[in-house]
Amino acid sequence: MASSLRSQGWFDSREYYSFARRSTLRAQGLTRAITEGKPVIGICNTASDLNPCNRHLTQVAEAVKRGVWAAGGVPCEFPVISLGEMFLKPTAMLYRNLMSMDVEEMIRANPIDAVVLLGGCDKTIPALLMGAASADVPAIVVPGGPMLSGTFRGQTLGSGTDGRKLFDLYRAGQLNDGDMEELECSIARSQGHCMVMGTASSMALIAEALGMTLPDAAAWPAVDARRFTIAEQSGTRAVQMARQGPKPSEVLTIHAFHNAITALMAAGASTNAVVHLLAIAGRVGVDLTLDHFEAISNLSPLLLDLKPHGQYLMEDFAYAGGAATLLQHLLPLLQPDALTVSGHSLGVQLAGHRTHPQPVIRDLNHPLDTNGGIKVLRGNLAPHGALIKTSAASPSLLTTRGRAIVFESKDEMLAKVNDESFDVDASSVLVLRNAGPHGAPGFPEWGHMPLPKSLMAKGVADVVRISDARMSGTSFGTVVLHISPEAWIGGPLAAVETGDEIELHVPERRLTLAVPAGTIEQRLAKRPAPQPHYTRGYGKLFLDHVEQAHLGCDFDFLKRN
């Protein structure tokens, strides 16, 4: 590993601009004694008032700076695009690749010897990892942490998951406006991201399983003092990494991705993590496919009893031992020699972790399920694959055949499911198309279609829903997602007609449109080509270069060959 500092190329030459750069440091009140010969540590901060999940990262950055100064480095905080899932339309996913480019170029273009990556909300940690992987400067992730558990009338609630359930009661007339206002004040009561095993929590767990964080970084609540301790320690470690590495390319190996996928399956984590892992792997040239996820899912049991599929929340996960305890239980299924940013292998790192009895994280002998929480489906509706989160689905619906009801858009779908006269029954298969990367555009979280009011009135709690969209990691139900290729670009989903029969057979990993041979091709041949949503700017760049879900939805020109 190289011992010279990257920043020396900016400050230590005999050219005029090195002099000018040093004088600029003086303008900040920094003397030669403070800066000369010391590693410059970038602190890549996604704090933003437009992203409440990440707003507190300003305080986390101060803790990182303490660690950097204490270790003899020079901290330099800089902002990048911040992607908040709550506010951005049509979806934060539209801008994940843009944020990754921002991260990459800010690291590459500046005198940074190592970088600490601060993220929390769903797309921020994936984009940080993608950008840092492409820049390949030593990097370490500090997740922002989940918010505290919600409470409502004596119940402990998880944002997203329980919010959706209670909102359905509101749609059904069982809660009124006053109830919902009380709920607004109760379900999200501190800084941090969603406290269920949604996408933000999943990506924090995955960052630790990949070896890109220090131990115990994934689960502590955003407001817990230990979150700031980890931030300080990460700043200190970044100074050491500036001279000794490792770089992201040395950590993000196929063994690291094996460990991350194993943790993903054992946690019953978000389906979105599949897309993000595929994209991160592409940035370091690791040949990762849906087949890897399917193979590992068949071997990795479900161990984590967290919402949306279980009963506990991230706060409970932290107190139970967090990612380190989960990974220690999974150790026989992991690649223990995988290097981490701590400088040690994952196996060595876990050897010093102490566990204690608790009900949240099961061991291999007492799993919640013998198989992982996500399955890959294929068939004439999804030749390149689709996903279903079986840990959050209804077992009785995993083998079913029903009449398709097709929605061409989200607006059409919402209008019909909220119409009490909508003709639908419990065996119907709701189909939403034109909701993928091109069709929506941006691949939004529209796949968790609300239950039709007419079915809720009959006490029906779940139906099969399929789409080329994503869904929030906080969601639940028998929902097939990420159908590839998407309908907008001529995928088979575009050929489905209301009244067709669709067969879902999860045990055989099949998703099939039951029509005569050649029917799909004939229907697609008659389909007019849709007009693109964007003809200029970033939107056009996105549509021209985004790949399909089974490839990670990254831009084709950002992959490392």
User: How far does Cα 517 stand from its chain's mean position?
Assistant: 38
Residue 62: domain span: 38-148+190-351
Q: Virtual CA dihedral for 205, 207, 212, 217, nearest 10 degrees? A: -40
DSSP letter at 503 equals E
Of 184, 210, 238, the one marking the end of a domain is 184
Written as six digits, the tokens of 556 are: 């084709």
Written as six digits, the tokens of 559 are: 């992959």
CB atoms inside a 10 Å sphere around CB 161:
27
- The reply to whether 255 and 304 lie within a common domain is yes
- The reply to whether 144 and 154 lie within a common domain is no
* Longest CA pairwise span in the chain (Å): 79
Of 167, 184, 201, the one marking the end of a domain is 184
pLDDT digit string (tens) for the chain, length 561 residues = 345 899 999 998 889 999 998 899 889 888 888 888 899 999 999 999 999 999 999 999 999 999 999 999 999 999 999 999 999 999 999 999 999 999 999 999 999 999 999 999 999 999 999 999 999 999 999 999 999 999 888 889 998 888 888 998 899 889 999 999 999 888 988 999 999 999 999 999 999 999 999 999 999 999 999 999 999 999 999 999 999 999 999 999 999 999 999 999 999 999 999 999 999 999 999 999 999 999 999 999 999 999 999 999 999 999 999 999 999 999 999 999 999 999 999 999 999 899 999 999 999 999 999 989 999 999 999 999 999 999 999 999 999 999 999 999 999 999 999 999 999 999 999 999 999 999 999 999 999 999 999 999 999 999 999 999 999 998 999 999 999 999 999 999 999 999 999 999 999 999 999 999 999 999 999 999 999 999 999 999 999 999 999 999 999 999 997
Written as six digits, the tokens of 177 are: 């406006």
- The reply to whether 248 and 323 lie within a common domain is yes
- The reply to whether 239 and 168 lie within a common domain is no
Closest CA to 153 of 123, 126, 124, 187: 187
C-alpha 316/C-alpha 220 separation (Å) is 9
Q: What pTM was estimated for this model as a whole? A: 0.96
C-alpha 390/C-alpha 372 separation (Å) is 8
CB 213 within 8 A of CB 341: yes
In a domain, 29, yes or no: no
- Buried b / exposed e over 229-262, threshold 16 CB at 10 Å, is ebbbbbbbbbbbbbbebbbbbbbbbebbbbbbbb
- The reply to whether 384 and 514 lie within a common domain is yes
In a domain, 15, yes or no: no
State the Cα angle at 558 between 556 and 561, rounded to 5°.
85
List of residues 6+ apart from 175 with CB closer than 8 A: 166, 169, 183
User: How far does Cα 397 stand from its chain's mean position?
Assistant: 26
Residue keyed to tokens 């087949």: 291
DSSP letter at 88 equals -
User: Based on the structure, what is the number of domains in the chain?
Assistant: 3
CB 219 within 8 A of CB 361: no
**374 - beta bridge partners?**
389
The DSSP secondary structure of 377-445, one letter per residue, reads EEETTEEEEEEEEGGGS-GGGSEEEEEEEEESSHHHHHHHHT-TT----TT-EEEE-S-STTTTTS--S
Closest CA to 339 of 249, 277, 232: 249
C-alpha 315/C-alpha 194 separation (Å) is 11
DSSP element (H, E) containing 520 = helix 519-525
- The reply to whether 227 and 346 lie within a common domain is yes
- The reply to whether 162 and 211 lie within a common domain is no
For helices 290-297 and 254-267, what crossing angle results, to 10°?
Answer: 50
CB 559 within 8 A of CB 551: no
Please count the CA atoms within 13 angstroms of the CA of 356 that sit on its side-chain side: 6
CB atoms inside a 10 Å sphere around CB 171:
15
In a domain, 19, yes or no: no
- The reply to whether 59 and 196 lie within a common domain is yes
Q: What is the CATH number of the domain that holds 115?
A: 3.40.50.2300
In a domain, 548, yes or no: no
- The reply to whether 436 and 472 lie within a common domain is yes
Number of H helices, E strands in the chain: 21, 14
- 307: helix, coil or strand? coil
- The reply to whether 211 and 78 lie within a common domain is yes
- The reply to whether 179 and 237 lie within a common domain is no
Q: What is the CATH number of the domain that holds 424?
A: 3.50.30.80
The DSSP secondary structure of 238-292, one letter per residue, reads HHHHHHH---HHHHSSHHHHHHHHHHHHHHT--THHHHHHHHHHHHTT----HHH
Q: Virtual CA dihedral for 228, 232, 237, 240, nearest 10 degrees? A: 170
C-alpha 57/C-alpha 338 separation (Å) is 29
- The reply to whether 142 and 162 lie within a common domain is no
Written as six digits, the tokens of 38 are: 């010391």
